[in-house]
Amino acid sequence: MSQEQASRPLEAMNTVGRNVPRIDAYERVTGKATYTRDVRLPGMLYARILRSPHPHARIRSIDISRAEALPGVRSVVTHETHQLIYSSGSVAGGRQYNDAAKDITTHLRYMFDNPVRYVGQPVAAVAAVDRHVAEEALQLIDIDYEELPFVIDAERALEPGAALVWPEGNLALDYQNQARPMVRRVGDVSAGLQAADRVFEDRYTTAFVQDGQMEPRSALAEWHGDKVTIHTPTQGISNCRHDNARDLGLEDHQVQIVCKYMGGGFGDKNGSYYFDLIAATLAKEADAPVLLELTRKDDWLGTHGRWHTIQDFKVGVKQDGTVTAIQMHGYSGMGPYLRRSGGISGIEVYACPNTERIIYPVHTNRMVSGNFRAPSDPQGFFAMQSMMDDIAYKLGIDPVDFAKQNMLRPTEDVRFTNYTMEECIERGAQLFDWQGRRRPEPGSDPGPVKRGAGMSFMMFRSGVGPSSAILRVDSEQRYTLFVGVTDIGPGAKTTMALIAAEELGVPLSQVEVVWGDTDRCPYSVGESGSRTTTQTGYAVVQAAIDLKEQIAESGMPTGDEVLIASATPTPSTQGRRRMCFGAHLVEVETDVRLGYVRISKYVAVHESGRILNPLPARDQIRGAALQGIGQALHEDLLYDARNGHPLTAGYYGARHLTHMDAPEIEVTFIETDDGFGPYGAKTVGEAGIILGPAAVANAIFNAIGHRMRDLPITRAKILEALS
Amino acid sequence: MKAFANQNAGSASAAVSRAREAIGRGQSVSFVAGGTDLLQLMKDRVVNRPGSDLPDVLVNLKTIPGLDDVRLSGPDAFTVGGMMTLDALSRHTVIRDEYTVLAEAAESVATPQIRKAGTVAGNVCQRPWCWYYRNGFECHKAGGSVCFSVRGENQLHAIFGGGPSFIVHPSDLAPALVALDASFRIVGPDGQRFLSGADFFVLPSEDAQHENVLRDDEVLVSVELPIRPSEAGVRSAFHKVMDREAWTHALASAAVVLEMDGDVCRTARIVLGGVAPIPWRVPEAEGQLAGKRITPELARRVGEVAIAGARAMSRNAYKIPLTREVVERTVLSLAASA
Amino acid sequence: MDRKKPEKEPRELPESHEPQEGAHLSRRDFLEGAGAALVVAGGAPKLGVAESRTAVVAPQEAEAVPRTRIRLTVNGTEHRLDVEDRWTLNELLRDHIELTGSKIGCNRGECGACTVLLDGEPIYSCSTLAVWADGRAVQTVEGLEQDGELTPLQQAFIDHDAAQCGFCTPGQLMTATAMLNQNSSPTAGEVREALVGNLCRCSNYNAIVEAVLASTGSGGAP
């Protein structure tokens, strides 16, 4: 059955398209929103984790007797007391939501590992009557480590003689447990390079970026007989439940995951964490609820972030600017466990018929990499579009013209549900005054203050797929929507509610949302991968349609009756690509003698289908763009190669943007309705972060005339480049 | 955190007595002012006083009356109480008008919340922010005998005066105070003493473990600012370069105090921050200004002389041109503020 | 802009705990064998593992955690409390007075999520000991709403989408409240400077500034 629905005119509908304040905004501005650590259970214990101080070491012995003897300590667990696999922490091929992949994973990651493979890896945990006693108890755990050789550099890790993170070698195992790079070839890149008039080669590198969400992670576990309830800030209650059940040796229905509010997700939390397991284990041992709190440093080093990359390009072009070949060989630093794919995007926006991309996901003894908002994208787009920008200038071609000349467009074989990539660039260029702000000759302003402009453009998946929703109406015409969302910030609860209100044709005030609890909510894909609005939102539409049909057939319920509709649609675009599109244009003002960069104008144009709720959509783009600026100019996790120790964990060390660092982001949406998703809505949440580093880096080049090829582009690097 | 006792001191000498009693009992003791930095160190289990343990006793100095304001202490000096908050210091009209460099230094520190708790003494006596020290490495600053920044990650480390430790002094007030020729008043078991900046701050070559001469039972109680005659025509400014807009220690800073005679500079004091283990005076650069009218060319020359003795480590060479630039611009900005 | 310094009444110093003889192991005792000392060559930090020089409270003396009785007014209500000297103000508010609106983002004074007002001034409650707040007045986010009425600032945060994940929101509100008490018609630049000590990783900075400006009636666009 075709999933297309009739496109509706794009002015605001009854509820969709109007500014709807978040339905839980009141709770957030009054301190009433209950995040995980705000939950209090009677008899609750507090737990802390002890972590490895070594990048690679075998634990010869571990003595917990002094910790256990400390008054107030209720349980202590280690790799010796419990061997639980943390199955979502390391997966063959990084295929996260895939049980079959987990079944064959050979590089297993445990709740507590031995040997330990990164500074910060957990080795023990204590539950005690208060957090201070728990912390003091950690000091009483005696561990004898045998230090092992370690490797920090992703490229060196694949060289012969490198320290081995795994006995078989440091190239991560793919979905078939083979140590092979990820390869994608189109056409014949050697022929394409041969056919070129000029071939350009360059290397680009990008740093590791921690998600850095404001809520440090925790898990609160409580057993009721053979069932465990875990409160934890997760983006995916269903996946979190399933993963934890698997690892605890339970059935899904024996695990309840609760997350009513969470302080930021950014993509890494759609599943379980090892500290869910630790909290559950401590709670079982102590026979009491246990709140395990991660300190900010624990959270920084003990969770995950965007993989750092090394990308080597060879690009062939004709003199007229037509790209004939793109070759990229790259390394993604994944840490000791392959938790996610390690992909690097960027080539796909070009029409070039001959491309080759070979990516080595590499194991090192750094902290583990994971998903962060468009996991494969900003790092890849920075490198690819810096490379192309560079080539454009070397050929004397305006980067906007170069982009138009080489961008992917719909063809017989490449079909989209709709396509607006060029329109985004043109609208952006016009709003930004590209011709007025770009310096045809980079670095040509008389110093020391130099301005310049750069641009970047993209498309990003906004596919359709399954999810579920349940909708119920009672005799008072109150509608209750059950959806498995937790709302990491984009306002999913509100979005789902207004979709329901729109389709039902009722005011938003008549719709209540039940969320964030696996005991009450149906399956949800979880809020990552840009799927909540398009997939869960679509399920809401279908449930509402079903409910309206029931009401039409049997009338509104009376008395104690309710009508219930549930939907688990599996839509399909019939082979057409469904993408969102965008362009970012940035002007920077630099002071080359101070190495200073200030963003003086930032224009973001996005086509994300129909915008369901204008303010949150705009703020998703603005926030993501600012994160992109942080990645471009500041954020890093520095390791000392001599001892494998991270030096800059935390907000101060990583120099996150403050209010005073945040320029105004000017957002324009080009609205469309391609007949898919709820009312034509597409993803907004991840789209905004993809282009920032590329646009900022290109603007810096235009301003200072020097190509910066390593993120973050710090003052120090600019001063060194220009001296 | 490890358990400790907070003891409120009623006077500077009582604070000293409390500290000595604790030491006498074999306990570890730290004086605490605003506490924003000390509590961090304690939570991270980083040694504050080298050779000591995490504190068993905190002697709270905030309860000492009379230390939180600026007062005229004689015909020649203003006394700035050690417990004055950075926020209050930056807003004080006398400081803003007469000792602008100090007000500007104070308001450049961290954030409003930290400035409302952080104090003059606490800021001056702050431990280094070297990432090795703060991550618990057993370096000189923790009482050990090695500096990990040597042949390591030394992007933020010293280009002057380093060795065997290469930290940069973390205080923004310190260069301003030295530029103002402030006197540091210390109270200890033998009573009080006054030290110049040159005597208060100590190079690693003399003592690698400490940044100043304070012993475990001594307190920095106040600083005295000399009052210059009104015809002295004093202008001063503080310029701090950070790698984000706020809430960061200086990559390089300059505290400049000029005594002007019309538009001719009679004397200059230039003190650098963020580049050396102590506030770094550059007398040769100061000498370039004596008796001269300040022009852009002269300001440039002053900057160049200021960095003449700088030595880069493997990763901090960028600090050298940056420092030159900061000095040049600060001097030039004062010439313009006639 | 001159601020009046608040009148300070002479404060009664709280009872401070006199340490008992032998309440804590001396460093000498510790090094001479009371606890296992791990000395690792190379000097790399031990991240929570027993450090060779960290004095540890021996099990039988763990009860001797110093405590102090304090008085504290929170959102207008006076409390008399017996606190551990080592509790931060944040811990006292969240865990012992059950006001969980003030958050812990880092517990290190690096993020601002714990901001409360102490005698009207914004401070990081994670970086202040509870005992230091004795005799003083604290306002938290829970104290903004009065008789069911949100402040104009809170309402503006709702109307201008200033809370995404919401975790930094209480801190932003408290700092902005204090700022507006001092300066009721700030510019956008002044708002950013005043709030610079409150991070937002969702990076909803533009909307937060717009909401603050809108609450003063000076329009939404920065």
One pLDDT digit (tens) per residue for chain C, 222 residues: 333 333 333 333 333 333 333 223 233 332 223 223 233 334 456 443 333 333 344 444 445 899 999 999 999 999 999 999 999 999 999 999 999 999 999 999 999 999 999 999 999 999 999 999 999 999 999 999 999 999 999 999 999 999 999 999 999 999 999 999 999 999 999 999 999 999 999 999 999 999 999 999 865 443
Residue A723 CA to residue B77 CA, distance in Å, equals 45
- For residue A227 the two structure tokens come to 């069932």
User: Under CATH, which architecture does the C145-222 domain have?
Assistant: Orthogonal Bundle (1.10)
Among chain A residues, the shortest Cα distance to B316 is held by A716
Between chains, do B25 and C21 touch, taking CB under 8 Å as contact?
Answer: yes
Strand C115-118 to strand C136-139: parallel, antiparallel, or no bridges (unpaired)? antiparallel
Residue B142 CA to residue C25 CA, distance in Å, equals 21
Residue B197 CA to residue B190 CA, distance in Å, equals 20
Flag whether residue B112 sits within 8 Å of chain C, measured between CB atoms: yes
Terminal Cα-to-Cα distance of chain B (whole angstroms)? 53
Among chain A residues, the shortest Cα distance to C157 is held by A29
Q: Work out the burial of residue A322: count CB atoms within 10 Å of its CB; fewer than 13 is exposed, 13-18 middle, 19 or more buried.
A: middle
Evaluate if residue A237 carries a pLDDT over 70: yes
Among chain C residues, the shortest Cα distance to A120 is held by C47
E strands present in chain B: 5-8, 29-32, 57-60, 70-72, 77-81, 183-188, 191-196, 219-226, 234-241, 252-261, 264-273, 280-281, 292-293
Which region among A562-576, B15-29, B242-256, C186-200 has the lowest average model confidence (pLDDT)? A562-576
Residue type, B230: S
Residue recorded with tokens 């018609």: C185
C183-210 b/e (C-beta count within 10 Å ≥ 16 → b):
eeebebeebbbbbbbbbbbbbbbbbbbb
Where are chain C's structural domains?
68-143, 145-222
Residue A44 CA to residue B130 CA, distance in Å, equals 38
Amino acid C218: pLDDT: 65
Between chains, do B318 and A645 touch, taking CB under 8 Å as contact?
Answer: no
Q: Which chains touch C (3 or more CB pairs under 8 A)?
A: A, B
Residue A153 CA to residue C152 CA, distance in Å, equals 52
Residues in chain A: 723
Fold of C68-143: Ubiquitin-like (UB roll) (3.10.20)
Phi, psi of A502 (to 5 degrees): -60, -50
Segment A488-505 mean pLDDT: 89
Beta-bridged to residue A143, according to DSSP, are A62
Q: Write the pLDDT tens digit of every residue in B160-175.
A: 999 999 999 999 999 9
Which region among A483-492, A503-512, B17-26, B238-247 has the lowest average model confidence (pLDDT)? A483-492
CB A244 within 8 A of CB A257: yes
Closest CA to A606 of A681, A495, A678: A681
Among chain C residues, the shortest Cα distance to B26 is held by C26
Flag whether residue B325 sits within 8 Å of chain A, measured between CB atoms: yes
Between chains, do B135 and A645 touch, taking CB under 8 Å as contact?
Answer: yes
CB A311 within 8 A of CB A155: no
Q: With contacts defined as CB-CB under 8 Å, which chain A residues touch B241?
A: 594, 715
**C168: nearest CB among A139, A214, A616:** A214
Which of the two residues, C60 and A28, has the higher pLDDT score? Answer: A28
Amino acid A534: pLDDT: 85
Closest CA to A49 of A297, A334, A364: A297
Closest CA to A127 of A274, A289, A298: A289
3-state DSSP of A465-519: CCCCEEEEEECCCCEEEECCCCCCCCCHHHHHHHHHHHHHCCCHHHEEEECCECC
Q: Write the pLDDT tens digit of every residue in A293-346.
A: 999 999 999 999 999 999 999 999 999 999 999 999 999 999 999 999 999 999
* Structure confidence at residue A492 as a pLDDT band (50, 70, 90): confident
Evaluate if residue A677 carries a pLDDT over 80: yes
Residue A222 CA to residue A230 CA, distance in Å, equals 7
Amino acid C44: pLDDT: 54
CB A485 within 8 A of CB A532: yes
Please tell me the pTM assigned to this model: 0.94
Between chains, do A723 and B321 touch, taking CB under 8 Å as contact?
Answer: yes
Flag whether residue A480 sits within 8 Å of chain C, measured between CB atoms: no
Amino acid C20: pLDDT: 32
Q: With contacts defined as CB-CB under 8 Å, which chain C residues touch A266?
A: 201
What number of C-beta contacts closer than 8 Å exist between A and C?
A: 225
State whether residue A659 is helix, strand or coil: helix
Segment A69-84 mean pLDDT: 97
Concatenating the DSSP letter of every residue in C39-61 gives --TT----TTSPPTT-----GGG
Residue window 103-162, chain C: list those with CB within 8 Å of chain A. Answer: 103-108, 110-111, 113, 140-142, 144-145, 150, 154, 157-161
Percentage, residues of chain A above pLDDT 90? 89
Residue A53 CA to residue A645 CA, distance in Å, equals 8
Residues 6+ apart with CB under 8 A from A223: A229, A280, A283, A284, A287
3-state DSSP of C132-199: HHCCEEEECHHHCCECCECCHHHHHHHHCCCCCCCCCHHHHHHHHHHHHHHCCCCCHHHHHHHCCCCC
Q: With contacts defined as CB-CB under 8 Å, which chain C residues touch B44?
A: 108
Which residue of A139, A301, A640 to mutate against B (max B Cβ within 10 Å)?
A640
Dihedral sign from CA coordinates of A575, A580, A583, A584: negative
How many Å lie between the alpha carbon of B102 and the closest alpha carbon of chain C?
A: 18
* Structure confidence at residue B266 as a pLDDT band (50, 70, 90): very high
Which region among A104-108, B307-311, C51-55 has the lowest average model confidence (pLDDT)? C51-55
Between chains, do B155 and A648 touch, taking CB under 8 Å as contact?
Answer: no
Between chains, do C100 and A70 touch, taking CB under 8 Å as contact?
Answer: no
Using CA atoms, how far residue C215 sits from A331, A613, C115, C145, in Å, is 49, 22, 20, 15
Q: Write the pLDDT tens digit of every residue in A457-478.
A: 999 999 888 888 999 999 999 9
Between chains, do B56 and C24 touch, taking CB under 8 Å as contact?
Answer: yes
Between chains, do A139 and C54 touch, taking CB under 8 Å as contact?
Answer: yes
Between chains, do B114 and C16 touch, taking CB under 8 Å as contact?
Answer: no
Residue C44 CA to residue A669 CA, distance in Å, equals 51
- For residue C21 the two structure tokens come to 């003889």
Strand A479-482 to strand A469-474: parallel, antiparallel, or no bridges (unpaired)? antiparallel
A115-147 b/e (C-beta count within 10 Å ≥ 16 → b):
bbbbbbbbbbbbbbbbbbbbbbbbbbbbbebeb
Q: Helices A614-633 and A692-704 sit at what angle, rounded to 10 degrees?
A: 50
Q: Work out the burial of residue A680: count CB atoms within 10 Å of its CB; fewer than 13 is exposed, 13-18 middle, 19 or more buried.
A: buried
Amino acid B338: pLDDT: 54
Residues in chain C: 222
Between chains, do A214 and C105 touch, taking CB under 8 Å as contact?
Answer: yes
How many Å lie between the alpha carbon of A529 and the closest alpha carbon of chain C?
A: 17
Between chains, do A651 and C199 touch, taking CB under 8 Å as contact?
Answer: yes
Which of the two residues, B330 and C29, has the higher pLDDT score? Answer: B330
State whether residue B193 is helix, strand or coil: strand
What number of C-beta contacts closer than 8 Å exist between B and C?
A: 143
Flag whether residue C206 sits within 8 Å of chain A, measured between CB atoms: yes
Between chains, do C43 and B139 touch, taking CB under 8 Å as contact?
Answer: yes
Using CA atoms, how far residue A472 sits from A478, A482, A487, A518, B177, in Å, is 8, 8, 21, 17, 70
Closest CA to A346 of A309, A303, A372: A309
Residues 6+ apart with CB under 8 A from A640: A647, B132, B148, B152, B153
Residue recorded with tokens 């009785």: C69
Q: Write the pLDDT tens digit of every residue in A381-428.
A: 999 999 999 999 999 999 999 999 999 999 999 999 999 999 999 999
Q: With contacts defined as CB-CB under 8 Å, which chain A residues touch C111?
A: 214, 296, 651
Evaluate if residue A488 carries a pLDDT over 80: no
Evaluate if residue B244 carries a pLDDT over 90: yes
Flag whether residue B99 sits within 8 Å of chain A, measured between CB atoms: no
B122-161 b/e (C-beta count within 10 Å ≥ 16 → b):
bbbbbbbbbbbbbbbbbbbbbebebbbbeebbbbbbbbbb
**C19: nearest CB among B25, B47, B53:** B25
Amino acid C219: pLDDT: 52
Flag whether residue B314 sits within 8 Å of chain A, measured between CB atoms: no
Amino acid C220: pLDDT: 45
Closest CA to A629 of A663, A654, A589, A669: A663
Residue C205 CA to residue A273 CA, distance in Å, equals 30
Q: Write the pLDDT tens digit of every residue in A585-622.
A: 999 999 999 999 999 999 999 999 999 999 999 999 99
Flag whether residue A411 sits within 8 Å of chain B, measured between CB atoms: no
Between chains, do A132 and B251 touch, taking CB under 8 Å as contact?
Answer: no
Q: Which chains touch B (3 or more CB pairs under 8 A)?
A: A, C
How many Å lie between the alpha carbon of A273 and the closest alpha carbon of chain C?
A: 19
Amino acid C2: pLDDT: 34
CB A21 within 8 A of CB C159: yes
For all residues of chain A together, what is the average pLDDT?
Answer: 95
Residue C153 CA to residue A11 CA, distance in Å, equals 31
Q: With contacts defined as CB-CB under 8 Å, which chain A residues touch B2?
A: 132, 136
Residue window 646-705, chain A: list those with CB within 8 Å of chain B. Answer: 646-648, 652-653, 655-658, 660-661
Strand A255-258 to strand A227-231: parallel, antiparallel, or no bridges (unpaired)? parallel
**A26: nearest CB among C99, C158, C222:** C158
Between chains, do C196 and B246 touch, taking CB under 8 Å as contact?
Answer: yes
Flag whether residue B71 sits within 8 Å of chain C, measured between CB atoms: no
Q: Which chains touch A (3 or more CB pairs under 8 A)?
A: B, C
Amino acid A533: pLDDT: 84
